Amino acid sequence: MTTATSPNPAALVLVVEDDEPMRRFLRSTLLGRDFRVIEVATLAAGAHAVAQDAPDLVLLDLGLPDGDGIDLVRRLRGWTQVPIIVLSARGPEDDKVAAFDAGADDYLTKPFGVRELFARMRVALRHHRASDPPDDPVHEVGPIRLDEARREVTVVGATVHLTPIEYKLLTQLVRHAGKLLTYQQLLMAIWGPAAVERVHYLRVHMASLRRKIEADPARPAWLVTEPGVGYRLRDAPP
């Protein structure tokens, strides 16, 4: 993996491309517009870079040595909404439809113009930032109040002291109240990609969290299990 930084760093762009001349072109072009750049040449390295470096945008080739880039799009969409723009020599409509169905934000067919690339990048970044939650919001769901600025949790007005893992778990659920979060989504968000198979981690910490949040932990009213799939925080009383 290669990282390049411009003198006035702005957004961080991950380039997943195995063609060296194309990588060199994208690197110089992006640095010329003050982007920071990470370069990798495989799907595996791309997935690792997204988890480790949290880029603001991904430029993704489809024909990579260890597989199809569409597989990486699907994998990333399991846990992140980072903007993904496909840059591919494949022009047929079916390839574009497959990329969009997998979760890509945009698709440019090679060769492409630099002005068009930057226009597409601006749109993708703008849409992503517009969808971000406000900084340090306060969430109120049923009896639960979570203040991210103060890292405070109260239940029916009483302060609840959570461990760091319990706090991260509750924050994920509160931010997506009413929605099912899969075990893999929660494991990825809290522990990262190395833990996506360790569902027992979640069970242990969820049991502890319920003891602090629920009036009757044995019959939870808010922190609900969807058997075999994941957990959901109800956004209305049962």
Q: Say yes or no to pLDDT of 170 above 90.
A: yes
**pTM of the predicted model as reported, rounded to 2 decimal places:** 0.59
Q: Indicate the average pLDDT of the chain.
A: 88
Report the range of poorest mean pLDDT among 86-100, 124-138, 182-196: 124-138
64 and 80 in a single domain? The answer is yes
> Among residues 75, 91, 106, 78, which one has the least CA distance to residue 189?
78
Phi and psi (nearest 5°) for 139? -110, 135
**DSSP secondary structure, 15-84, as one string:** EE---HHHHHHHHHHHHHTT-EEEEE-SHHHHHHHHHHH--SEEEE-SEETTEEHHHHHHHHHTT----E
9 and 108 in a single domain? The answer is yes
89 and 146 in a single domain? The answer is no
Give the model's pLDDT for residue 158. Answer: 95
- Flag whether 238 is in a domain: no
Say how far apart CA 228 and CA 111 lie, in whole Å.
45
CATH number at residue 57: 3.40.50.2300
Residue of higher predicted confidence among 164 and 196: 164
Say how far apart CA 41 and CA 22 lie, in whole Å.
11
93 and 22 in a single domain? The answer is yes
Give the model's pLDDT for residue 6. Answer: 46
Total domains, the chain: 2
Give the model's pLDDT for residue 129. Answer: 72
Give the model's pLDDT for residue 136. Answer: 61
| DSSP designation for 227 | T
pLDDT for 86-107, tens place per residue? 999 887 788 888 899 888 999 9
Residue where a domain terminates, one of 100, 131, 162: 131
Q: How confident is the model at residue 176 (pLDDT cuts 50, 70, 90)?
A: confident
Q: How confident is the model at residue 66 (pLDDT cuts 50, 70, 90)?
A: very high
pLDDT for 1-47, tens place per residue? 776 654 445 789 999 999 999 999 999 999 999 999 999 999 999 99
